[in-house]
Amino acid sequence: MDEIRVCSLCAGKLELNTLIGFYECVSCGKLYTVEEAETPLSLSTVSRLIQDHKYDEAQENIRVLLQNDPDNARLQLYSFLARRRFSSTAQFLSVSADNEDQLMQMKDDPIWRTIRQDSSGQCSKLAGLVNEYFDAQVERRSLRRQFGSDIKSREILEHPAPNEKRLRTMPQFLVFLLSLLFWGAIVIPASLKIASDHHGFVEDWSRTQGYYRRLADEDTFIFYVSAIIVALTLLTTFLVPVIRRRIRKKQLRNGKIRFLRNGTAVRISSKNQDRTEYLPPNAAAVKKYEELDSRCKKILEAIRHEESHLLDKA
């Protein structure tokens, strides 16, 4: 330093401690950062570095601070986040929600055990929320393993089942096949016959038009039937599915039909009718899973709120 810096606590002289790489007060021993000698090396410094994603620098600061206060729960929390390279506990839990191994590693981490046993009360509420989140996630994951097929079947209410899709497209395919057969067996041979009777095969566009005008005159019935079949094919292929999807969505919203697990649609005569018989076989487990999923989201939001308070106190 070009100018003499003094300690903000006791006004003692600050000297660089080359062993740890920080300025140290010669009177009271308070540490200060090298970059900003007037800024004490504290929880706020570590918090700022973590929020700026400078995890390596944060770990160095934490290492020095832990030498003087090894049982500090907030330092342990920041150490955990810096090692995992996350800016907050909520972010880590959100990313690891569907990764049971990562959640178990966090739960069994020695640092996190120290945080849970915090006697100062600094992180006790946060630790309690995280423990509650762990318990809810473990139960949620267990239900998903046991009743995964029933839980996934809830999506059928919003998206048609594969069986229903196949049944819906079968008439369209049959009409399209009949149209191809009709053209292949009648229209194309008739066109070739007329063309062969008049100057051989088609040679240019003007003569082609003449051949098809003659075909229209001599085989009007064939063209009418062909036009109807083509129109039906286009109608069933493009228009009917769109109309059916809209009707089906409206029926689902109004509670008039419900899909079962096997993909079949069951019509419900009244909105007020008891529909429990149409739910999956393990409806209670599915409902419990949905409640746990909602609970995990609420706990995660509470963790974010509590962590923001801790950062404000830093």
Q: How confident is the model at residue 37 (pLDDT cuts 50, 70, 90)?
A: very low
Q: What values do phi and psi take at 170, rounded to 5?
A: -60, -50
In a domain, 34, yes or no: no
- pLDDT: is 218 or 89 the higher one? 89
Give yes or no: residues 164 and 274 share one domain.
yes
Q: How confident is the model at residue 206 (pLDDT cuts 50, 70, 90)?
A: low
Give yes or no: residues 198 and 269 share one domain.
yes
In a domain, 152, yes or no: no
Q: What values do phi and psi take at 6, rounded to 5?
A: -120, 155
Give yes or no: residues 76 and 107 share one domain.
yes
pLDDT at 78: 87
CB 121, CB 224: distance < 8 Å: no
Q: How confident is the model at residue 152 (pLDDT cuts 50, 70, 90)?
A: low
Full residue range of the structural domain in which residue 140 is found: 42-147+300-313
- Strand arrangement of the beta sheet that strand 31-32 belongs to: 14-17, 22-25, 31-32
In a domain, 69, yes or no: yes
Give yes or no: residues 234 and 134 share one domain.
no
In a domain, 1, yes or no: no
- pLDDT: is 19 or 144 the higher one? 144
- For the chain, percent of residues with pLDDT exceeding 90: 0
Average pLDDT over residues 14-32: 70
pLDDT at 185: 58
Bridge partners, 267 (sequence order) = 257
Give yes or no: residues 59 and 110 share one domain.
yes
Give yes or no: residues 142 and 185 share one domain.
no
Give yes or no: residues 129 and 194 share one domain.
no
Contacts (Cβ under 8 Å, ≥6 apart) of 194? 211, 214, 215, 218
Give yes or no: residues 229 and 308 share one domain.
no
Residue 270 reports pLDDT greater than 50: no
pLDDT at 134: 85
pLDDT at 161: 43
* Dist CA 200 CA 193 (whole Å): 9
**Segment 108-123, tens digit of pLDDT:** 777 777 777 776 676 7
* Dist CA 15 CA 34 (whole Å): 10
Average pLDDT over residues 236-245: 71
Give yes or no: residues 119 and 224 share one domain.
no
Which range in 83-97, 185-199, 236-250 is most confidently predicted, on average pLDDT?
83-97
* Dist CA 79 CA 58 (whole Å): 8
pLDDT at 249: 67
In a domain, 210, yes or no: yes
Residue 264 reports pLDDT greater than 70: no
pLDDT at 102: 74
Candidates 227, 261, 229, 265; CA nearest to 244 is 265
In a domain, 163, yes or no: yes
* Dist CA 21 CA 130 (whole Å): 35
Q: How many CA atoms lie within 13 A of 70 on its CB side?
A: 2
In a domain, 32, yes or no: no
Q: What values do phi and psi take at 32, rounded to 5?
A: -135, 150
In a domain, 81, yes or no: yes
Number of domains in the chain: 2
Give yes or no: residues 119 and 206 share one domain.
no
